[in-house]
Amino acid sequence: MTNSQDTLFAQPGEHQGNFQFDSRVAGVFGDMIRRSVPGYGQIIATLGDFADRAVTPGSTVYDLGCSLGAATLSIRRRIEGRQCRIIAVDNSEPMLERCRENLAAYVSDTRVELMLKDIRDVTFENASLVVLNFTLQFLPPADRDALIRKIYAGLNPGGMLVLSEKLKFDSGEIQTLLDELHLDFKRANGYSELEISQKRSAIENVLIPDTLAQHRERLSSAGFAAHDLWFQCFNFVSMVAIK
Ligand SMILES: Nc1ncnc2c1ncn2[C@@H]1O[C@H](C[S@+](CC[C@H]([NH3+])C(=O)[O-])CC(=O)[O-])[C@@H](O)[C@H]1O
Ligand SMILES: O=C(O)C(=O)Cc1ccccc1
C-alpha cells in the first residue's frame, strides 16, 4: 500500500483553506491516518473479524468512503469463497485510483466494484455488512440521518453496520482531556506543533463530529434495535449496529 510520509502541513502557511481528499492527501494517506487516528490498525484488522461473522454467501458488502481500500482489503481476505461482492465507494478520484492499485496487488475470488460517487447516492441491496470507517463525520450533519436510514433499509436481517467516528463530548473537561491525549498521540508519532495546528485548522469546517448520544439516537431511530461501542481510544470510537 502507498505509504509516503505525510509532511503536508510541515511548512508554515502550507495547505491553507479547507482539507480536501486531493492527490497530495491520497499520496500520503496511509501514513497520515495511522499516525493520526489511535487504534486505526486495530479497527481495520477487526473489520475482517466482523466480516467473517456477518457476511453471508451471495450477499453484498459496502465500504463507504473507502480511501485507499484498507477496510475492503481486510474484509476481502476473510470472505473468500462466499460468492460475495464488495462495493467500495469514494468521491475522490485520486483515492479511488490508488485503491484500485492496492486491490490489484492481491489475488482474490471476490469481486470488488469501485464506484467514484457520493455515498449519499448509493443504493443498498442485499447487504450483509456496511462499513462507514471514519466517513460519516465528513457528511453535512443534515444528511447523516437519511444515509443511516437508507443503510438500514438495504441491510438483510442480521446484517451489520460498523461505524467508526471521531467524537465530540458534552463535557468541556472531557473534551479537553481527550483532545490533549490525542494531540500527545500525534506528537509521539512525530508530528510537530505546526503540523498539528495547521491540520487542525484545515479540518475544522470539514470534519464535524457528533456526540456518542447523537450516534446512538440516529442508529435507534433508523431502526437498529441492537447497537453499541466495540472500540474506543480517546476521542475515536467504533460502533456496531445489527439489524
Ligand atoms: N460524500 C462522500 N462521498 C464519498 N466519499 C466521501 C464523501 N465524503 C468523504 N468521502 C471520502 O471518505 C474518506 C474519508 S477517510 C476514510 C478512511 C477509510 N474508510 C479507511 O478505512 O481507510 C477518513 C479520514 O480521512 O479521516 C475519504 O477518502 C473521502 O474522499
Ligand atoms: O488528524 C486528525 O486530527 C484527525 O482527526 C483524523 C484525520 C485523519 C485523516 C484525515 C483527516 C482527519
Whether the per-residue pLDDT at 14 is higher than 80: the answer is: no
Is the distance from the beta carbon of residue 207 to the nearest atom of ligand 2 less than 6 Å? yes
Q: Is 174 annotated as a binding residue?
A: no
Residue 190 alpha carbon to ligand 2 centre in Å: 15
Q: Is 76 annotated as a binding residue?
A: no
pTM assigned to the model: 0.96
Whether the per-residue pLDDT at 52 is higher than 70: the answer is: yes
Strands 226-233 and 127-133: unpaired
Cα–Cα distance measured from residue 63 to residue 71, given in angstroms and rounded to the nearest whole number = 7
Q: Is 171 annotated as a binding residue?
A: no
| Mutation probe of ligand 2 site: the residue of 20, 34, 67, 207 with most atoms within 8 A of C-beta | 207
Contact (Cβ atoms closer than 8 angstroms) between residue 133 and residue 71: yes
Whether the per-residue pLDDT at 9 is higher than 80: the answer is: no
Mean residue pLDDT of the chain comes to 95
Whether the per-residue pLDDT at 238 is higher than 80: the answer is: yes
Is the distance from the beta carbon of residue 203 to the nearest atom of ligand 2 less than 6 Å? yes
Whether the per-residue pLDDT at 10 is higher than 90: the answer is: no
Q: Which residue has the cell 498521540?
A: 185
Please compute the mean of the pLDDT values over residues 137-155 and round it to a whole number. Answer: 98
Nearest CA, atom 10, ligand 1:
65
Q: What is the pLDDT of residues 178-210, one digit of tens each?
A: 999 999 999 999 998 988 998 899 899 999 999
Which one is predicted more confidently, 198 or 91? 91
Name the residue among 138, 139, 166, 135 with its Cα closest to residue 37: 166
Q: Is 53 annotated as a binding residue?
A: no
What's the confidence (pLDDT) of residue 16? Answer: 65
How many CB atoms are closer than 10 A to CB 92? 20
Q: What is the pLDDT of residues 98-141, one digit of tens each?
A: 999 999 999 999 999 999 999 999 999 999 999 999 999 999 99
Instruction: Report DSSP letters for the chain, one per residue.
Output: -------TT-STTTT-SS----HHHHHHHHHHHHHHSTTHHHHHHHHHHHHHHHPPTT-EEEEET-TTSHHHHHHHTTSTTS--EEEEEES-HHHHHHHHHHHHTS--SSEEEEEES-GGG----SEEEEEEES-GGGS-GGGHHHHHHHHHHHEEEEEEEEEEEEEE-SSHHHHHHHHHHHHHHHHHTT--HHHHHHHHHHHTTT--PEEHHHHHHHHHHHT-SEEEEEEEETTEEEEEEE-
Nearest CA, atom 11, ligand 2:
203
196-200, 225-229, 234-238: which range is least confident on average?
196-200
Please compute the mean of the pLDDT values over residues 65-88 and round it to a whole number. Answer: 98
What's the confidence (pLDDT) of residue 1? Answer: 47
Residue 46 alpha carbon to ligand 2 centre in Å: 20
What's the confidence (pLDDT) of residue 203? Answer: 93
Whether the per-residue pLDDT at 6 is higher than 90: the answer is: no
What's the confidence (pLDDT) of residue 193? Answer: 92
Whether the per-residue pLDDT at 161 is higher than 80: the answer is: yes
ipTM: 0.98
| Closest approach atom of ligand 1 to CA 43 | 21
Percent residues over pLDDT 70 in the chain = 96
For CA atoms 28, 115, 46, 147, give the dihedral sign.
positive
- By CB atoms closer than 10 A (0-12, 13-18, 19+), residue 208 is middle
Residue 126 alpha carbon to ligand 1 centre in Å: 23
C-alpha cell at 39: 487504534
Q: Is 144 annotated as a binding residue?
A: no
Is the distance from the beta carbon of residue 76 to the nearest atom of ligand 2 less than 6 Å? no
